[in-house]
């Protein structure tokens, strides 16, 4: 019996050693690689929060994330960045679908080559036409309409929508919704994304259109110079002022009562969720059954202080 027990122990030890050696020789699964391409220029604080969200998700799931964006709002350059991303054959592609004409064919090419695509921020209404799996963002047109309705509730009879990236489908839809929300009794003011040019354009427009009492900007790039212009003119109380998106400057202006509202689309989630979704798709074939709405929501003076702390952490 003793000899049998010794043989069993020796056999078990040998089996354990062989299993451990086999396990050690198994190659580790290579981390998934996802590429995110956006139209966000480096000076726009909105997109740094999107990037923060994407990087946090990649760290959580152990994926490799490559974030790419043009140095200026340039659809030809963005198209080239997306084409290069597709050519690198990533495990998944995330992009802001800002221009159907420039990006539709590239997205379809990615899909045809087996690369799953999730769009964020812009183009959710058309991205599925080119094979995108889903969209994470908000209805830009509806958000613009809601901004108009909110201004009308505050007594505004005529407004203006300041578009600092005309040709960006998402921003154009915001202004379209805003104008329609006023039943056409609103204008669109096209500018560049240069802060001085935005400031000068807004001041000149308001001086020439005394019947306009509501001003909507489409992001921090335009909101910050608008607020500065109103401060300089002592006119923050003379107009109803709203904007899309959040930044430290926008939140400070809201908290001080210099801005009446900001439309929040939770841009951190627009970075975070697509990475999580693609990771689940690559590993388990799982995806949400439909698009994921991250907005619109409204931040006002009443709740701005609650959001400021998260903004300092790069989350809002």
Q: How many CB atoms lie within 10 A of CB 238?
A: 11
Q: Is the pLDDT of residue 57 over 70?
A: yes
Greater model confidence, 312 or 219: 219
How far apart are alpha carbons 177 and 183 in whole angstroms? 10
What pLDDT score was predicted for residue 30?
A: 84
How far apart are alpha carbons 94 and 53 in whole angstroms? 13
Are 221 and 126 within one domain? no
What pLDDT score was predicted for residue 183?
A: 96
Question: Within a domain: residue 228?
Answer: yes
| Banded pLDDT at 20 (limits 50, 70, 90) | low
Q: What is the pLDDT of residues 211-261, one digit of tens each?
A: 999 999 999 889 999 999 999 989 889 999 999 998 888 999 999 999 999
Counting the structural domains of the chain, the total is 2
How far apart are alpha carbons 225 and 195 in whole angstroms? 6
What pLDDT score was predicted for residue 22?
A: 45
Are 149 and 259 within one domain? yes
Nearest residue to 215 via CA among 196, 194, 189: 189
112's tokens? 């045809």
What pLDDT score was predicted for residue 311?
A: 80
Are 117 and 157 within one domain? no
Question: Within a domain: residue 2?
Answer: no
Are 199 and 51 within one domain? no
Q: Is the pLDDT of residue 262 over 80?
A: yes
Domain with 247 in it? 140-264
Question: Within a domain: residue 69?
Answer: yes
Question: Within a domain: residue 316?
Answer: no
What values do phi and psi take at 161, rounded to 5? -110, 120
Q: What is the pLDDT of residues 117-155, one digit of tens each?
A: 999 998 888 999 999 999 999 999 999 999 999 999 999
Q: Write out the DSSP string of 224-274.
A: HHHHHHHHHHT-TTTSEEEEES--HHHHHHHHTTSSSEEEE--HHHHHHHH
How wide is the angle at C-alpha 85 spanned by C-alphas 83 and 86, nearest 5°? Answer: 65
Percent of the chain at pLDDT > 90 equals: 74
What pLDDT score was predicted for residue 308?
A: 87
How far apart are alpha carbons 290 and 293 in whole angstroms? 10
Are 233 and 130 within one domain? no
Question: Within a domain: residue 214?
Answer: yes
How far apart are alpha carbons 124 and 21 in whole angstroms? 50
If phi over 0 gives left and psi between -120 and 50 gives alpha, with beta otherwise, what is residue 73? beta
Are 196 and 278 within one domain? no
Please give the C-alpha separations between residue 307 and each of 245, 246, 247, in angstroms, as whole numbers.
Answer: 12, 9, 10
277's tokens? 């979704």
Question: Within a domain: residue 293?
Answer: no
How far apart are alpha carbons 291 and 84 in whole angstroms? 26
Residue listed under structure tokens 């695509």: 117
Q: What is the pLDDT of residues 21-45, one digit of tens each?
A: 444 455 566 899 999 999 988 878 8
Instruction: Report the CATH number that the domain containing residue 93 is assigned in CATH.
Output: 3.40.50.2300
Q: Write out the DSSP string of 40-94.
A: --TT-HHHHHHHHHHHHHHHHHT-EEEEE--SSS-HHHHHHHHHHHHHT--SEEE
Q: How many CB atoms lie within 10 A of CB 43?
A: 14
How far apart are alpha carbons 139 and 263 in whole angstroms? 12
Q: How many CB atoms lie within 10 A of CB 26?
A: 7
Question: Within a domain: residue 307?
Answer: no
Q: Is the pLDDT of residue 9 over 50?
A: no
């Amino acid at each position: 019996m003793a000899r049998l027990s010794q043989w069993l122990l020796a056999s078990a030890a040998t089996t354990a050693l062989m299993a451990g050696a086999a396990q050690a020789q198994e190659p580790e699964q290579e981390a998934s690689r996802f590429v995110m391409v956006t139209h966000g220029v480096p000076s726009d604080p909105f997109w740094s929060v999107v990037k923060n969200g994407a990087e946090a998700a990649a760290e959580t799931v152990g994926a490799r994330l490559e974030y790419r964006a043009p140095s200026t709002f340039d659809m030809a350059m963005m198209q080239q960045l997306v084409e290069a991303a597709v050519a690198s054959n990533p495990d998944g592609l995330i992009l802001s679908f800002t221009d159907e004409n420039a990006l539709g064919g590239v997205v379809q090419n990615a899909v045809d080559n087996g690369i799953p695509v999730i769009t964020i921020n812009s183009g959710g209404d058309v991205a599925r036409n080119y094979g995108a799996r889903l969209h994470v963002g908000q209805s830009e047109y509806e958000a613009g309409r809601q901004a108009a309705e909110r201004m009308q509730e505050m007594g505004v009879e005529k407004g203006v929508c300041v578009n600092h990236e005309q040709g960006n489908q998402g921003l154009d839809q915001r202004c379209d919704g805003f104008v329609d929300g006023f039943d056409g009794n609103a204008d669109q003011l096209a500018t560049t994304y240069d802060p001085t040019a935005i400031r000068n354009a807004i001041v000149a427009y308001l001086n020439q259109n005394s019947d306009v009492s509501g001003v909507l900007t489409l992001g921090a790039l335009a909101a910050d110079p608008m607020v500065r212009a109103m401060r300089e003119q002592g006119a923050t109380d003379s107009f109803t002022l709203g904007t899309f998106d959040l930044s430290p400057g926008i939140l400070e202006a809201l908290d001080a009562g210099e801005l009446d509202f900001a439309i929040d689309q939770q841009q951190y989630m627009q970075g975070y969720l697509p990475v999580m979704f693609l990771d689940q798709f690559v590993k388990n074939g799982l995806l949400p059954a439909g698009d994921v709405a991250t907005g619109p929501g409204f931040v006002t003076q009443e709740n701005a202080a609650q959001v400021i702390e998260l903004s300092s952490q790069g989350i809002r």
